[in-house]
Each structure stands twice: as structure tokens, then as C-alpha cells.
Amino acid sequence: MVNYSLGEMERGLSGVEYQRYSRHLLLPGFTPESQQKLSSAKVAVVGAGGLGSPILQYLAAAGVGTLTVIDADLVDSSNLQRQVIHCEAAVGTSKVASAARAVHALNQAVHVREVPEVLTPANALATLAGHDLVLDGTDNFPTRYLVSDACEILNVPLIWGSILAFDGQVAVFFGDEGRGVTYRDVHPRPPEPGEVPSCSEAGVLGPLVGVIGSTMAMEALKVLTGLGSPLYGRIQLYSALTGDWTRIDVARRKDRAPVTEIEDLVETCGFPAVEASGAAPVRAEVLSPAEALREAATGRLLIDIREESEAAEGMLPHAVNIPKTQLMEFARGERAGVGPLSEVGDLHGAILHCAGGARSAAAQAELATLGIEVANMAGGYVASVTLRP
């Protein structure tokens, strides 16, 4: 399904390339033209984290000619448990820059286009246009829908992967001009805020991202070269605990109209909007549970933004429970400071926590857009349990 021009294919492989990719060329059906297709391919990888790490490493090693790496995040020490493309020296630096260095160290012939920006409804089509294939290794629902919709509009194949705790999923989506299966056929309704936990709440076993990311890279080589049967209309489910793979066949929903314009799902899925810009990402304050508890004991405001039903099961010492929705309404001046809010006063410098850290990180980002800087307690209430008697 990927087309290449005669000019892109007429160069032929050099002697160095024959040597480098000799193990490919020994495979039945893998011809020099197959390798040339990889060398001529332009592939966009959305996310340079857990899934992006093996994807980028294997595509670079395979000789994919152009890799566009899209990620606005900085490398954090908590990433190193699974994001193997980054090293300790890269902590605090741009993920796309770190990934580009690793790719060039592996294969200098690969051209890397660095996009250290958030993919948004405003820039998605322009950023992804011109690519032969897109791989989505992101971990939030707004971006997953955004990438799928953009690929459907651009009629570009999309390889999608997802991981959580001990389980992973892989699929190949392709709109095929209104005939094929996309992410919206599998997940027609975006989840409500807090309905599905993130990796920061549920955790993820490090090697799992290697299994799923490598599988995504394998599917990419199949799509780009025409070898084998890519996972069109199929989802592969993997359990790290049992080692089992399960296949689910999926079909296009008969009542679904083709996507023709980009929809902004940020508010629907409960994630804060992020402005795309060329500026370096701001490194927000993140505290460990132990640090947060020490700060709270000295009088620093600790706000539990879980729902009241969650807080009823237990709260941290010195914490005040203000659900996220109420806190944001108060911050925007839409809610009076009564009840627990009367204890808040100035939000600047407060510490937020939720169940696992995802909602509080989202609230931290939202407050930052209002000019209010707060800290986030990594791991949330769940991570703090082992610190209390």
C-alpha cells in the first residue's frame, strides 16, 4: 500500500549497503528492491518513550531512510526503567534530541527530523503529511484519536500500540479511502476522564514495551516492503504474565462516516490542552511521596484531588480533599472559596496528588496555563501507602 517513485528506487544498493543488510537479503522474498523501499521510506513516529524506543532503534537498524520523531517531553529518571533509547546523561534533555543521537549512533545513513512539539489539531495534518507510514506510541487518548483521524484524512497507514501494567496491544489501521478499519472502529467512544488508568497510575513492566514496540517495528517493515500479512483488521493482544498472544478480528463500522476533519478531544478525554510552540518544555516540580509528606508536615498545602468517594477510603496526613473539577473551577474564579476551599487561599506552591499521579499531573499542567505553579506528587496515594504505618 506504500508507493515509491521510480527516482527513489532506481539508485540501487551500494556495496556497503549489501554488506550491512546482508541478513535481510538472505531472507526468502526480501530482495534488494525491498531494502531500497526501506531506504526510500519516510516514517513518522509519534512518541519517543517506551514504545518509541524499540520502534526507532529497529527501524534505524533496518535502514529506514527518514524518521520523523515527534515528542515534546523531556527525559525523566522514571523513564529509564523502560525507555531504553535514553541514558542517564540524557535526563532533563529533549526526548527527540536524545533519540536522534541514539539513532545516528546506530545508523548514520538515517535522516532524523526532530519535532520537539506537542501534536495538536492545529498542526497534526501538516506534521504527518508526506510520510509513507505513521507509528503511534503515545499514552493518552486525545493523541491516539488525533493521530488516527489525521492518518485517515491523509490516507496513510497507521501502526498503533498500547501497553498497561502486564498487557499490550498492536494493530495496523488504514482508512483506505473510507473502506478500511481505523482506531475509531475499535474505540468509537472516547473514555471519560479517569475511566481508564494510565501507566503512571497502573504501572508497566519494562520489557513489555520492548515486546510491543518491536512488534510494531516488525509490522512497519511488512507494510513498507509488502512482505507477509500486516495486521490490517486485526488486533494482537499480549499478556506478559502468561506469554499468550490473542487475536481479535475487527471490521469497519457500517454506520461510521469517514473522518474528514480533525476533532479536538482534549476536553472530552479529560486532558489539559497544551500549546504547541518552539519553546523548550517547562520542567514542572515533581515530588516523591516522601518529599511531599515532609513538605506537608511543615505546613505546605497538600491537596488531594481525588473524588470524595475515593478520599473516603483514606487520606494522607495534612491533606485537604478538593476534587479536580472543583479545584479548577476555583482556580478560574468560577467557584467561591467555601467548605474545604476556604482552607486553600493562594494555590501557588501547593502540592497536588491523586490516586496514581496522572490526574494531578494533568491538573498541574492546567494550572500552569493559568499562571499558577504547583507541585505534583509522583505515584499518588497508591505510591504513598508503603510510607505510612
3-state helix, strand, coil in the chain (%, to 5): 40, 15, 45
For the stretch 254-301, pLDDT in tens is 888 899 999 776 545 544 444 444 444 445 788 888 889 999 999 999
Interatomic CA distance for residues 326 and 344, integer angstroms? 12
What pLDDT was estimated at residue 178?
Answer: 84
- What is the mean predicted confidence (pLDDT) over 313-326? 90
Q: Is the whole model's pTM more than 0.75, yes or no?
A: no
Instruction: Assign residue 369 a region (left: φ > 0; alpha: ψ between -120 and 50; beta: otherwise).
Output: alpha
- What is the mean predicted confidence (pLDDT) over 3-31? 81
For 286-387, which CATH superfamily applies? Answer: Rhodanese-like domain (3.40.250.10)
Catalytic residue among 87, 151, 199, 269: 199
Q: Where in the chain is the domain with CATH 3.40.250.10?
A: 286-387
Helix ranges restricted to H, the chain: 6-9, 15-20, 22-25, 32-40, 52-62, 95-106, 124-128, 141-154, 183-186, 199-202, 206-225, 266-269, 289-297, 308-311, 324-331, 358-369, 380-384
* Domain at 41-269, CATH from 3.40.190.10, 3.40.50.720, 1.10.357.10, 1.20.140.10: 3.40.50.720
Judged against a pLDDT cut of 70, whether residue 39 lies above it is answered with: yes
Catalytic residue among 87, 151, 269, 354: 354
Quote the mean pLDDT of the chain.
86
Q: Considering just the CA atoms, what is the radius of gyration of the chain in Å?
A: 23
DSSP SS3 for 320: strand
Q: What pairing do the DSSP bridges indicate for beta strands 158-164 and 133-136?
A: parallel
Judged against a pLDDT cut of 80, whether residue 382 lies above it is answered with: no
Interatomic CA distance for residues 40 and 143, integer angstroms? 27
354 given a catalytic annotation: yes
Q: Are 200 and 358 in contact (CB under 8 A)?
A: yes
Residue 379, C-beta contacts closer than 8 angstroms, at least 6 positions apart: 200, 288, 289, 356, 357
Judged against a pLDDT cut of 50, whether residue 34 lies above it is answered with: yes
CA of residue 128 relative to chain centroid, distance: 16
Judged against a pLDDT cut of 80, whether residue 389 lies above it is answered with: no
Amino acid at 385: V
User: What's the pLDDT band for 136 if we cut at 50, 70, 90?
Assistant: very high
- What is the mean predicted confidence (pLDDT) over 213-242? 95
Q: Where in the chain is the domain with CATH 3.40.50.720?
A: 41-269
Interatomic CA distance for residues 336 and 346, integer angstroms? 13
Can you read off the three cell numbers belonging to residue 287? 515530588
For the stretch 88-102, pLDDT in tens is 999 999 999 999 999
Residue 135, C-beta contacts closer than 8 angstroms, at least 6 positions apart: 43, 44, 45, 46, 52, 55, 158, 159, 160, 161, 216, 217, 220
